Structure formats: C-alpha cells, structure tokens
Structure 1
C-alpha cells in the first residue's frame, strides 16, 4: 500500500500538526457571565426604585405637573361632596345666626330671642341646608376647577416642606394625616352666599379648615421614603439603565442578555403596578370608619395615576426591546419571522419594478448603508422618547410603530442593482 505522506529529497515529509481554533479561557467566560448576571439583577431591582424616584422628583419640582395631577379631583363627585360637607360645617360653625335672623326680623331683640328659642334645631337645620346648597352650587359649578387649580398651585410650594415634616403652607402633615387648607374655597363660598342674599356671611371671619388628602399610620415612614426618593431623583433611573447596558455589554451572549434584561425590567415594572393596586386595598381597609371611602379612593387613584403611567411605559419599553433583540437574533423562529418580513417587502419591491419603478442610485446607496440607516432610525426613536416631556406607554407604542414603518421603507429601498455581466474576452 502506498504511503499518503509526501516524499521529499531527504525522505518523507512529516505532516504538520492540526491547527486548532483559538478559544477563550473558560474562566474568563464565567467571569463575564457572572458580572453580566449581577449587573442585570441590579438593574431589575433598581427599576421600581427608579420609577418611583422619577415620579417623586417630577411631582415635587414641577408645579404644573402637580396641578395636573390634582386637577381631576375637582370633577370627582365623591370629592365634591366631601369638600362641600367640610366647607359647610366650617361656615355654619362661625356663621352669626342672630345676625342672619335679625336681617329678616325687624322687631328687635325680644322678638328675636323668642324666635330663636322656638325654632331651635329647626333653625340650625335650615341654616345648614341654606349654606350647604350655596356651597354645593359653587363646588359643582364650572368655576370650581379653576379655584381648585389655584389652591393646588399655591399649595405646591408647601409640598416639599410637608414631606420634610416642617409643615406650614397650604399642605401640612399632622400626626398621621396629610391635609389641604380649604381657606380659598371657603372665601369664595362666603362671596357666593352674600351674592345669594345671605348678608351675614360677609361678617364671617377668615376661616382655615382642612381637607384630608391622606390618612395612615404609616405617613411618617412614607414621608421619609418619598423624601429620599425625591433626593435620588432621576439618577436612580440613570443607574438602573447603566447597570442594564453594562450587563449586556459584559455578557458573552449579548443578544440573549439583552432579552433577559429587558424582560426582567418589564417584570419589575409589572410587579410595581401590582403592588400599587394591592396597597390601595390595604390603605382603604385601614381608614377610620368615618372617612368617605369613595373620596379616599379617588384621591389615591389621582395621586398615583402618573406613577401608573410610568409603570406602563417601562413595561411596554421592556417588552419592545426584548422583542427587537429577539427578532434580530439567529434563532430559528426569529430567522423565520425575518424571512417572512423580507419576502413580503421584497415582493412589493418586485411588483413595483415590474411597473417601471427603478430605484437606481438610491437603491444602491440604501443597500450599501442599510445597517447604518437602521441603527440611525433606532437611535432617532430613542432620542425622541428621551426628549418627550412625560412620555406614556401609548407614546412608546406609536414610536415603535413609526420605527417599524421606517425600517420597512429602508427594506423596500434596498436594491443592490443589476449584477455585472461576465467580462467579454478580447481576442487578438
């Protein structure tokens, strides 16, 4: 049998040793995976903190945001009823009934005393009803939302002091209760009563009474927590994003790490949303018996509505990022989805070409810089989201749709041009 080893002038030449592909040390891969896992877990754990901190910073530093948060309460029937009862009680308590009756009875003090003794509780009930009707008309009128906004705008300056426990201003924290001073509403109610013919209301002194916004035995703890979160501000969100990006960059399989990080962040936001719902039930169950449950629920839902919007935004963003990272991968399912996408758009491009549409230099330019154009589109979408003032989940969805449309246009314009034909042989 002939030997397969080639022969040289000095005998058989030994075969060269097999060349092995260079491999990174396993220890290095394990270290990178461990660092990536730690950073991604930190990003997931920081997500609820970052969402709440950004919401706290926005509510405290932006007066317009705070007024917009509280504005829906002016039209809530339960809150209108609670404010009406509180303002009515404060006015009736200080309304000079003797002066009110003397305006109607010109017979002097003896007749007035006799009338007051005979009427008794009926007079008190009648006066209360008269004041209640006047206050209710004010609270249910179109003018009340403006009064409510003015009250909350002036109260915003005191929110920071209230959160630090110093008190003062229109918002105060006393013991386990956060209250809002209704003096401006009472003043407008007195003016309305005078306009309705109750001249004695003009002699009521300035009244400061409170409307309970929040009542809980955990107010002090929540106040401290909110203060810390407001100090953290948007830096908590920056730290969470940095941990997520760092974890993806440190990972050996970055695309898989990106999917895991995005889904983890979305899950953390979802858990925060569930926690807000659970805390709502616990908070309402622990309220004292005399507190209006409907009004308390309306106040809670209004205070956290922008926080819920932030939760939905992070949840949607996480799902969109995870979907994009998965679709750009090399998996069988992702490849099949991309194939359907490219085949569908390719069919449209082919049909357009049959109708005489030629892309020419544009198609060749897009084909050459297709990857760059796609990344520019993604970067533009991210920039718009970052510059958007208080984006919502709906904004994120529409940005995703717009990005998808841009990517579809890029795919449609991708035309490498006609392939070059074989070179002709030049004879002698």
Structure 2
C-alpha cells in the first residue's frame, strides 16, 4: 500500500485517503523506529552468538586434537614416534637401563673369588692385594661395556622400529592415560602418569646376554616404567578429557555454525566477519599462551630425580606439537580472513590496495593486447562477472583447506598464494579483452 494514501473506512475498495503531513511524519517515525529496533535485535543476537563461538573455539581445537589423536592409529603413532629419537629421552632410557644391568652384576663376588683363588695358590701378598683392588676398575669396565651396548640399541634404527611397532599395537595408550586404564605404553595410576619401556628392556636384555652378560637376564620385571609427571589434578583432567573426547566431533562444528550465524545475523556482514575472525585469532593466541603456561607447570611438577628437565620438555613438546600446529594454522587462517574482509571495505588503505591492484592488472592486460594477445568474449565475461569469479576462487580455497587432511601453516600459505595468483590472472585476462572485441560479431574491430 502506498504510505501516502489509505482506504477510506466506509468507502469501496478503490477509495483512497491521502495522508496528511502529520500522519506521514508519524508513519516515517514508526518505520524508522521499527527498523532501528530490528537492527538492535539483530546486533544483540549476533553478539551473543559470537561470544558463544569464541568461548567454544579453544575447547573445540583441544577436543578435536584429543579425538583425532585417540581414534586415528597413524596419527597417534606419528605423535609418539619422535620420542624414540629425542636425545634427552634416549639418554634417560640408556642411563636407567645401564644402572639396572650393572646393579645385577656382582663384581665384588668376582674379585673375592679371584682373591681366594690367589690365596689358595700361594700367590704373593702384593698380588692378592692387587686382586682386591680390581673391584673399582672392573665395575667401571662393566659399566662402559653395558653402556655402549645399551646405547647402540637405543640409538639404532631397530629401537625406533620397535618403539613405533609397540605404539601402533597399543595406539589406545593416550585414551588409557585419560581414562585411567592400565594397558598400553602410557599408564595413569592415581596422580602419576608413567611411560612403559618394558619392550625396550627385553630387547636390551637379549643383546646383553648375547654379548656375554648372563646376569643381564636377571633384570627385574618390576619398575619398568619412567614417571612422566605427578599431579593431584589428574583425576579432574581425566574427567574433562573424557568429556572433550565425547564432544570432540561436534564442538568444532558447533563453533563454526555459531560463528556463521553471528555473521549472517549481524546487520553489517563484512564488519562482523572481520570481528569474528579477529576474535578467533585472539582466542588462538590465548590457547598458545595457555599451552606455554601448562608446559611451565608440567616442568615444575616433574622432580629432576624422576626425569631430567630436558627430557621432560622433549616429551611435552612432542605430545602437544600437533595441537600447537592446529592452533597456529587456525590463527593464520583467522588473520587472513580478517584481512580479506577489511580489504573489501571502504577504508583508505583498502581502497589504495584495490586501486593499485586494478592499475597493475590493467597495465598487464594492455601489455598483452599490445603484444597481440586478446581474451575476447572470455575476457569480457570475466570482467562482467568479477564478483562471481572472485567468490568462486575463495570458495575453492576454503573447500581445499576443509578437505585437506590436517592442514599446516605451510599448506595455508600455499593455498592462499595460489588463490591470489589465480585472482590476479583472471583480472589480467579480463583487462586483456580489449574494448573493440565486444562488437566482434556485429561491427569491425
């Protein structure tokens, strides 16, 4: 209905009533009020959705990492495999195994037997005293040989293969730690988390026995674990991780859906996209800071007598490196998204970038035309559908990152670089069409 007229109350369908100036002013006021109220409601709803998405973002990243590490055998093996080649961890295992083997070699009994044999044979007292003094050098020699043998096993390729094989067979070790079960390489007992090196001990035993150290077969079956850390909060962490594993698939989806709804609900879509991307970037930075704090807490909780600081740091860094990679990747994606949203805006730097890009692609297209290269109708189609082609390239880039298995920062840089190159190439092709090609079918060029 035309706001300037209205049906008369008692008239027919065609009767009209012209609004007075006061009525029209009231109508415009009510319409503006309704529009403002509608925008405020949309803005408030968008803010609520954005806050929920930002709060869920760090939890979603951690939950996805836990679920992925536990459920995917290859991913789990890739997580723990580097521990076998970490020098600090190797040093701990070598020292522990060497000490246990040497402790089972009764060097004193060997020197006592030699001393008694010399005494029974009537050897001079000086020879008997020299035999008694052999205990220290003999123990050092045994330690050196055992250390060399153990080092050869631990630093060799065979140990890494055994390590990967053991972890592949027990890929549920991380789940066992989080749930408190006692099977697998990682075991949680009360507030203590231990790393089981039983298979490594068995291999070292076999090598030492083959080398002539029969006493190595007496290495006790008990205490074949290395304490990683002790904490009174392990029970709470296990409960939290169980919950995160359950919702690991849905939390990331929910966070993305909430972010998308926040952008769609907001009156200014581009501005809200920029705000949302910036918020996600901030949350990823906070997650990296939290991981750094957790690392410090973990290192402080491990007594040096249980595990050297460098070995503890290597273990922590190895276990969370995929989580850090995912967090950095999302941080870079968020920054790029915010930057793209800004470049589409009315800001002076954004306009300058767009103008510079247009001048560059136009100059390149003119250079191609002067060289005799013209894109004709294809170029004119690209020029007339620039928004569609740009959106298609961006959508293809997003889809590539979504379908890529565990994208890294390098992958993001590659996809963004290719996308920018394609967009520039399309712009050059559009500029190379030439103004006369539009009349190619009806008029001479």
What range describes the TM-score normalised by the shorter chain of this pair? 0.7 to 0.9
Answer whether contact 2:393 2:419 (CA < 8 A) is retained: yes
Spell out, residue by residue over 1:51-105, the C-alpha distance to the aligned partner (whole angstroms, 9 max, x if none): 1111111111112111111222222221111111222344445x4648x959x98
Answer whether contact 2:178 2:238 (CA < 8 A) is retained: yes
Selected match of 1:259 from 257, 266, 274: 274
* Superposed displacement of residue 418, structure 1: 2.7
Normalised by the length of structure 1, the TM-score is: 0.85
Which residue is equivalent to 1:319?
Answer: 335
* Superposed displacement of residue 338, structure 1: 0.7
Q: Where in structure 2 are the equivalents of 1:8-19 lying within 5 Å?
A: none
Q: Where in structure 2 are the equivalents of 1:61-80 lying within 5 Å?
A: 61-80=71-90
Which residue is equivalent to 1:32?
Answer: 42
Answer whether contact 1:154 1:170 (CA < 8 A) is retained: no
SS in 1 for 2:435: coil
Which residue is equivalent to 1:300?
Answer: 316
Q: Does 1:192 align with 2:202?
A: no
Answer whether contact 2:229 2:302 (CA < 8 A) is retained: no
Summarize the Cα distance change of 1:161–1:282 in structure 2 as closer, same or farther, 3 Å threshold: closer
Cα distance in 2 for partners of 1:333, 1:158 equals: 52
Cα distance in 2 for partners of 1:76, 1:324 equals: 41
Unpaired segments ≥5 residues, structure 2: 1-17, 121-127, 440-445
Which residue is equivalent to 2:442?
Answer: none
Cα distance in 2 for partners of 1:154, 1:211 equals: 20
* Superposed displacement of residue 124, structure 1: 5.2
Higher relative contact order (CA 8 A, sep 6+): 1
Spell out, residue by residue over 1:270-324, the C-alpha distance to the aligned partner (whole angstroms, 9 max, x if none): 1110111122122212322413111111111111111110110110010010011
| Count, aligned residues | 403
Cα distance in 2 for partners of 1:71, 1:163 equals: 19
* Superposed displacement of residue 135, structure 1: 1.0
Selected match of 1:349 from 355, 365, 368: 365
Summarize the Cα distance change of 1:222–1:129 in structure 2 as closer, same or farther, 3 Å threshold: farther
Which residue is equivalent to 1:11?
Answer: none
Cα distance in 2 for partners of 1:46, 1:160 equals: 22
Summarize the Cα distance change of 1:155–1:215 in structure 2 as closer, same or farther, 3 Å threshold: farther
Q: Where in structure 2 are the equivalents of 1:20-169 lying within 5 Å?
A: 23=32, 25-93=35-103, 95=104, 97=106, 126-169=141-184
Which residue is equivalent to 1:201?
Answer: 216
SS in 2 for 1:143: helix
* Superposed displacement of residue 25, structure 1: 1.8
Which residue is equivalent to 2:381?
Answer: 365
Selected match of 2:414 from 385, 398, 409: 398
SS in 1 for 2:374: coil
Cα distance in 2 for partners of 1:198, 1:205 equals: 15
* Superposed displacement of residue 243, structure 1: 1.0
Which residue is equivalent to 1:217?
Answer: 232
CA RMSD of aligned residues (A): 3.2
Unpaired segments ≥5 residues, structure 1: 1-13, 422-428
Which residue is equivalent to 2:124?
Answer: none
Cα distance in 1 for partners of 2:182, 2:222 equals: 19
Normalised by the length of structure 2, the TM-score is: 0.81
Which residue is equivalent to 1:407?
Answer: 423
Cα distance in 1 for partners of 2:19, 2:295 equals: 77
Which range is displaced more, 115-124 or 385-394? 115-124
Which range is displaced more, 167-176 or 289-298? 167-176
